[in-house]
Every structure is written in structure tokens, then in C-alpha cells.
Structure 1
Amino acid sequence: MSYFKKDKRAYLLLADGSVYQGYHFGCEGTTIGEIVFTTGMTGYQEVLTDPSYCGQIVMQTYPLIGNYGINNSDMESSKSWVNGYIVREWCEAPSNFREAGTIDAFLKSQGKVGIWDVDTRQLTRKIRRQGTMNGAITTEDVFAHKDALLEKIRSYKIVNPVPKVSVSKLGWFYERENRANHVALMDFGYKHNILEKLLQFGCNVTVMPWNSTMEDIRELNPDGIMLSNGPGDPTDNIQVIDNIKRFIDYGKPIFGICLGHQLMALANGAKTEKMPFGHRGLNQPVKDLTQDRVYITSQNHGYAVVNNTVDPSVGQITHINMNDGTCEGIAYPDIHAFTVQFHPEASAGPNDTRYLFEKFTDLMERGQEGCL
């Protein structure tokens, strides 16, 4: 167990000036980010490699992390995007038939600073009361440089993360034999499981950079467009929102997930707002209003579409979060599009929300005559 490794102190300094002492794992050094918490009991490797966490220091509320190690199959992208990692305890002797290393070794390989033996329960309560805040993890003497570090922490902001996480080249093509539909996957920080689900549902997929234009889409001539998840404030993506308006005019079916859901709403005149501490975990209850049924969903977002700003003549709210009533899905019948805030590819149900991918493929197969 990790208590044998209490060999070097690390410190967590929050923007309010409070200091949490723990021990370091991963790399040594100092890192600054927006501190968020996720409640999943499993899936820590997916968290570490989810591009939506770009610029953030992630805390796991579940007390033991790393017990099944790191493997080569559960990567949601090619690298880790978190700025830092906070856990109560990590396991130095994982046991799993797929295990290829420890979480400590993985953090070191990715150049990420971590801290453990922190009271994550107390820290979670603070964030729930005061809201998400910036902070820093450091293996240096925090008390000797506290004021200077606090100044950096308080001025920190996640700036333009989408271009950082997106592919840079046009048209990464994934093809399998006898595919019926071709999807343009707009990469705002897509998770690999989204691509895998599209392939499983009989699609060829071309991954497009975040700033792909209508001309790029027209040249590709896909059967449908997928707007992926991604990091940051959706309102910062002015160019993307403008491009989505043109995608809408193109008339092909559109399916948006997470950030894609927010961007689609903004393109249709709705507004978004930052949540106090967001939804991050594997057990968020969401009600599908069209089915009068509740699903357990996987989520990772700090912004939400403001319910009363959705024009009912343009979009219809189809899903709501059962905990706080926030918007979790919108259908746009006149433009053959729909979006969800949660992650249907993440299999929290485990397969309950696969019907959304079925709906998307059905729309593509029926073309512009399809209806939601």
C-alpha cells in the first residue's frame, strides 16, 4: 500500500490561501490549475487521458486510486491532459490481468505532478461550498514562496484549450469494410470511445480539426456530423460557433456530446453558464423526457446550457439532470440535429444510452427526410 512511500512532502495551495499537506507521487515540481473533483470509483485512467480536463487539477473523491493499474486499452487520447492529480491514497501493487504499470509510473511518464494523503473529503466539501477554485501542487517549500505562488494561482485562467487538444491535420480517416455511413467527427478534444462507438455502429469516421470550415465539410461530403466533447468555456469558441451555424445550413444530421452540446446551443441562440462545481463522475441521473425514463450517466463538464434561454421554436429540451434540473439534452427537429450533455459512449449504464447512437445512424440512413 502507498503508506510505505511517505518519503517526500508535497503541498496543495488554494486560491483562498489554505494549504493542504501531503506526499508527492508522479513528478516533482510545481503545477497550477483549476481544481475540480470527480466521483468515479473506477475510470481513473480515462480521467487522466480525457482532453476535457485540459488545464485542470483533478481530485478523485474515491479514497483508493490505482488498484487495477494502468493498461494500454483504456486511454481516451494519446496522452494525459490534466495539470495535476490529487488522491487520498494510491496503490503501488495493482492487480489486474491487463495491468502494465502503476499510476505513479504513468504520471512520471506523462510529466504530471501528483499529491496524495490529502483529506479529499474535506477538500470536496470546500469546493462544494465555495465553488471551483484555482490552486497549485508543489514539492517545493510552499511557505517560503506562498505570496508569489498565490499571485500566479489567482491570475491563472484556462485560455483557448480546444486548439491544444485537437488534431492539427485535416482528415484522420478510420475505415472498416462494408460501412454504410460516413461521419465527420469534429475534434474539440474527442474521447477515443466516441470514435469506437461510431465504428461499432457501422460508420466510417474522418476526424476533423477544431477549425474545419464549411468548405472542408462540403469537400468531405459526410452523411452526418459529430460535435465532440472538449475543454474550457464554450463561449470562447467564437469561430467554432460560427462554423456550426453553417453546418446547420448544410442540412446533414448533427449529433453533439458535452462541449458539442453547448456549442450547438450557442449557435442556436441559447446561453451557457459556469456551474458552481460541475458534474464529474459516473453516476449522474438524467431523465429522458421523451421516454419518461431515468438513466445513469457519465459526465464531465463545468458549464451548462441555461434552460430558459432555449428557444422552444428552435430546440426542445429532451433530457434534464435529476439532481439539479440542468439541461442535459436538446433536440432540433427542423435541422435534423440533437445533442446531449452527458457521455453516452462511456457505458455508465452500461449500454442504456446506446440508443442515441442508433438515433444518429438512423437519421443518416434516412437523410434529410429523417425526423427526431
Structure 2
Amino acid sequence: MATSYLLLEDGTVMEGESFGYDSSAYGEVVFTTGMCGYQEDVTDPSFRGEILVFTYPLIGNYGVRKEFEQSDDVHVRGVVVSEYCEHPSMVYGGEPFGDYLKAHKIPAITGIDTRELVVKIREQGAFKGAIINDASKIEETLKNLRTMDSPMCENLVDQVSVKSTISIDNGKGLRIGVIDCGTKRGIIDHLSQRFDIEIFPYDAPSQVIVDSGVKGIMITNGPGDPAHPALRDTTVRTVKELSSLMPMTGICFGSQLIGLAMGGSTYKMKFGHRGTNQPVKYEGKVFITSQNHGYVVDDHSLDGTGLIVDQVNVNDGTVEGVRHRDLPIFTCQYHPEAAPGPNDTTFLFDKFKKMVQEGRL
């Protein structure tokens, strides 16, 4: 393995070895706490624009297989691990994780003290960072990191959303719409068990969705800042216009967009929630959930919006879901489809189906 370097905007330089594609990468450096599911993570469109640090100390001990992909592409800009396993167990089959990243042209670095790195992120927040393989470019890269815009300033949703409407006929006789901000395959799989589906681009006008005849709408997960001006002018406006016309739910990024559409606000978290073990209190019970977000709805902004916080994160008290006082609208900040993670909250898909059928929450 060739020498590689992880650089942070505060001047930190960490040396390791490359096990991915031989190129450089810039992104927001964030961490995830899952013990497995690395293929699902890197193909999750919500990770667009980010260099992903895996906190679990050994990554790559099982092979990657196509059926676990959450999209048709790898969306992270780089991967950071403590120790990479070059020879995965043959029990599960599949190709080595490093070969998979090389095929998708994603730089990756091993040999990093991820404990030290995660402590830094938790204390100081997510950093702009880079992975490079040329030591002579360290100072130049650090200078670029200090002056460049955060990837969160980009309209990342435009990079991952479908470009035209996709129809999926599952023979269910009940059709709903999905506003695709970067949806995971797991979400579509769960919806397909219950509905026929129309998948719309993130910037589809509300009238197009109404004219399609769908009986309800889901706004999906996605990357970046939900309050990006390009989203306020498109998705947020559409959600606001549809909110009184049909039942609605949102997952993760979709929950934030609904919050904005109803008059609330969002804010960037210090280091976000990414992993498969986040506890959420909902209706008097605690559920373990899979999460991937760096922004969240501000609970103090919801007065007068009609939205009520009915789910909270046990660890830090942040908003994990809202419902509307009068309209058939509810959301969750986590991923009920998991992929990877626990299946504690898949019942929310049934709740959405019942809401669509009855027209009320």
C-alpha cells in the first residue's frame, strides 16, 4: 500500500496507507458508528459530499455484494478506517471493499487513529478535509481547505435526485408519490410492499404531482443543507403547497423539508447522528434507530406552525419526528427502513399506508 494523508482544515495531518483509488478527495469529514453495513453506507446518497470515517476498528472483513447497495453509485468522497482487512471472509462471498472503492474511483485511507479523529470531531465539529497521496501537496491542500466553501454549500440534492418521473407498478391498487431527494433503495423496497409508486425529481412542481393522481406523498432522505436556496425555491415550496392536499410523511431530510415548509427552521448539528444505534423516544417507548443526518429541525421554531414534536433523541434531546395538529402529516428524522441497522420502526410504513387510506393521521 502506498502512503496516504488525511488533512483537516485546522492543519491536522494524519499519515496512513491508501487502499482505495489513487486520487485526491475533498469533503466534509464525518463519522459513523455502525459495526457493519459499510457498503450500504457508502452507497447512501445522504453521504454525498462527505469523507466518511468508520469508528469500528476493523473494516472490510466481509465482501461487498450488489444486493446490499442502496443506490447505483458510491456517494462518499472518501473513506477513512483504522484497519482495513485485505482478505474478507469467504463465508459471505463478494469482492474486497478496497477493490469496490477502486472500481468507483473513491480514495480510501487506513492506519488512521480514528479514536483521536472522532474525539476531535465531537469536540470541534465536522471539518472540511482531504485525502491526498502526494506529500509535496500537503501545504497547498491545507491552504485550499481553509479557503474553500463547505460541500454543504452545494445543491447536493440536484446531484442525486432522479431527473424524470419513474413509475413502479406493484399491483397494489394504491398509488403514492415519492419526492426523491436522494432516496435509498431500502425505502423504495418497503414502499413497494404496500403501494404503487411515482418517483418525482426533487424540483417537480406541485401541480405535476397533483395531476399524477397519487393519494399521498413521501419526501425522502438526502444530502446537504435542507435550507439551501435551490431547495427553498423548489422542494420546500412544493411541500408547502401539497401539505393541505394529501397525506404526507418525510424521512430524515424529508422531515427537515416538511419542517421548513410549515414555517419552522433547521440548524446544522455539531457532528450529526450517523450510525445504527441511536435511541429515540416515541409514544412512551424507546426504539433503536439507524440515522444519517447533519441537520435537524429546531424545536423552538415550530410555535404556530401546527407541528408538534412527538419523537426525541434520548441522548441529546434533538427532534426525531413531528406530527401536525390537524393535517395528516407525520415525519421521522431516522431511517425506519434501516439498511443497515435495526428494524424497530418499520411499522411507520404501515402507519403511512393507513393514513393514506383513511385520509387522516
TM over 0.5: yes
Q: In structure 1, what is the equivalent of residue 174 of structure 2? A: 181
Matched to 2:318, the amino acid is T
1:139 alignment partner, one of 126, 133, 137: 133
**Other structure's SS at 1:352 match:** coil
Q: Give runs of aligned pairs for residues 38-117 of structure 1, distance below 5 A.
A: 38-117=32-111
Q: Larger deviation: 342-351 or 234-243?
A: 342-351
Matched to 1:127, the amino acid is I
Q: Closer, same or farther in 2 for the Cα pair 1:86/1:348, shift >3 Å? A: closer
1:271 and 2:265 matched: yes
Matched to 2:266, the amino acid is T
Distance 1:241 1:184 in 2: 16
1:19 and 2:51 matched: no
**How many residue pairs were aligned?**
355
1:259 alignment partner, one of 253, 258, 269: 253
Q: Larger deviation: 332-341 or 189-198?
A: 332-341
Q: CA deviation at 1:183?
A: 1.4
1:243 alignment partner, one of 238, 244, 254: 238
**Other structure's SS at 1:68 match:** coil
In structure 2, stretches of 5+ residues that fail to align are none
Residues 276 and 341, structure 2, Cα contact 8 Å, conserved in 1: no
| CA-to-aligned-CA distance 1:277-301 (integer Å, 9 cap, x gap) | 000000000000xx20000000000
Q: Give runs of aligned pairs for residues 192-271 of structure 1, distance below 5 A.
A: 192-200=185-193, 202-236=194-228, 237-239=231-233, 240-249=235-244, 251-271=245-265
Q: Closer, same or farther in 2 for the Cα pair 1:354/1:313, shift >3 Å? A: same
Distance 2:289 2:339 in 1: 8
Q: Closer, same or farther in 2 for the Cα pair 1:313/1:176, shift >3 Å? A: closer
Q: Closer, same or farther in 2 for the Cα pair 1:46/1:348, shift >3 Å? A: closer
| CA-to-aligned-CA distance 1:322-352 (integer Å, 9 cap, x gap) | 0000000000142211111000111677332
1:9 and 2:7 matched: no
| CA-to-aligned-CA distance 1:69-115 (integer Å, 9 cap, x gap) | 10011101001000100011122221255432010110011000000
Q: Closer, same or farther in 2 for the Cα pair 1:295/1:96, shift >3 Å? A: farther
1:363 and 2:355 matched: yes
Distance 1:336 1:138 in 2: 49
Matched to 2:182, the amino acid is G
Distance 2:221 2:263 in 1: 20
The Cα RMSD (Å) is: 1.3
| CA-to-aligned-CA distance 1:142-179 (integer Å, 9 cap, x gap) | xx33332122212132201000000111x2111222x0
Matched to 2:159, the amino acid is K
Q: In structure 2, what is the equivalent of residue 3 of structure 1? A: none
Distance 2:215 2:349 in 1: 14
Indicate the percent of aligned positions where both proteins have the same amino acid. 41
Distance 2:11 2:311 in 1: 39
Distance 1:52 1:284 in 2: 17
* TM-score (structure 1 length as normaliser): 0.93
Distance 2:239 2:227 in 1: 13
Distance 2:123 2:256 in 1: 25
Residues 347 and 353, structure 1, Cα contact 8 Å, conserved in 2: no
